[in-house]
Amino acid sequence: MNRTKPKRKRPTVSAWACCVLAACCVGILDAGGADNAGTSREAEAPNAAAPHNPLLPQACETDLALSAAPAHLRDDATIYLLRDAGYERTRSGTNGFTCIVNRDDPRVLKPTCFDEEGAETIVPKILFFGRRMMAGESTASIRDEVARGFEEGTFVRARRPGVAYMLSRYNRPVNPQTGKRGWFPPHVMFYAPDLTNEDIGHDMSTDNPEQPLPMIGYQGPHGYMIMISDDGTPRSRDDLRGCPDWVHAD
């Protein structure tokens, strides 16, 4: 007897748009260090000076960071983990890719694996953010420092086309309306400094989850063109057995 695999229920268009905005706009830096897409500093958590969740066990964070990359890149990638004083490199890779759980907001988890260009131009900003965040600085203050860093040349934009993989099923952005951690589907990001959705003809208000189109996230010098790459595989606690419950919780 033929059995068809049931389709996973996809979010509504409005839920999808909210998810996109949460993943691409909230707690993320644009060219001037301000929030994107009209979100305001008031949307920031009132106690954003320190992580809202404990540091992840090393094995858990390692698996989470590597889950961002295609399987064939994982064994030889460099790994950074967030520890008490900031990010620490726990493995030096050989293939040019760097995997890290980006915490550019203390409430989020964003496993990302950058190619060599991203490792040289974007990862330094993430390491800076983590160091300052773990020292107790507020998110707003760190954003201002990053903005000055771009003005002064401390941070630079991607110099050539390249890719950052976010293929994990455990991308956890924060919903700007509720302040709660949500989910964002696996995707691939291509470096697109200063490109806008208007430039590529994308209207977020009409985004259709059944036919995802490229969209711009992190608009500014470290902007990306994002393509959803979700095969519908459901999440399972077996994916990250060493992780605490809050990583899996809705």
At 53, the pLDDT band (50, 70, 90 cuts) reads low
- Position 178 scores a pLDDT of 82
Give me 114's structure tokens. 């950058």
Residue that is written with structure tokens 């595989």 in the block: 233
At 65, the pLDDT band (50, 70, 90 cuts) reads very high
Give exposure, 100-138, as e/b (b: 16+ Cβ within 10 Å).
bbbbbbbbbbbbbbbbebbbbbbbebbbbbbebbbeebb
Residue that is written with structure tokens 């430039």 in the block: 199
Checking if the pLDDT of 179 tops 90, the result is no
Checking if the pLDDT of 163 tops 60, the result is yes
**What 3-state class would DSSP assign to 21?**
helix
Residue-wise pLDDT tens digits, 226-239: 999 998 899 998 99
- Position 137 scores a pLDDT of 94
The arithmetic mean of pLDDT across residues 154-163, rounded, is: 95
- Position 29 scores a pLDDT of 34
- To the nearest whole number, what is the mean pLDDT of the chain? 82
Residue-wise pLDDT tens digits, 142-152: 999 999 999 99
**83 Cβ contact partners less than 8 Å away, ≥ 6 residues apart:** 55, 134
Give me 71's structure tokens. 């399987």
Distance (Å, whole) CA 209 – CA 228: 9
Distance (Å, whole) CA 167 – CA 140: 28
**Please, are residues 90 and 81 in contact by the beta-carbon 8 Å criterion?**
yes
**What 3-state class would DSSP assign to 46?**
coil
The arithmetic mean of pLDDT across residues 127-141, rounded, is: 94
Domain positions in the chain: 13-233
Which of 31-35, 65-69, 233-237 is modeled with the greatest confidence? Answer: 65-69
Distance (Å, whole) CA 66 – CA 112: 8
**Please, are residues 68 and 61 in contact by the beta-carbon 8 Å criterion?**
no
For 2, what's the count of Cα atoms within 13 Å in the CB-facing half-sphere? 1
**Please, are residues 62 and 100 in contact by the beta-carbon 8 Å criterion?**
no
Residue-wise pLDDT tens digits, 72-123: 999 999 999 999 999 999 999 999 999 999 998 888 999 999 999 999 999 9
Task: Give how far the C-alpha of residue 69 lies from the chain's centroid of Cα atoms, to the nearest Å.
Answer: 13
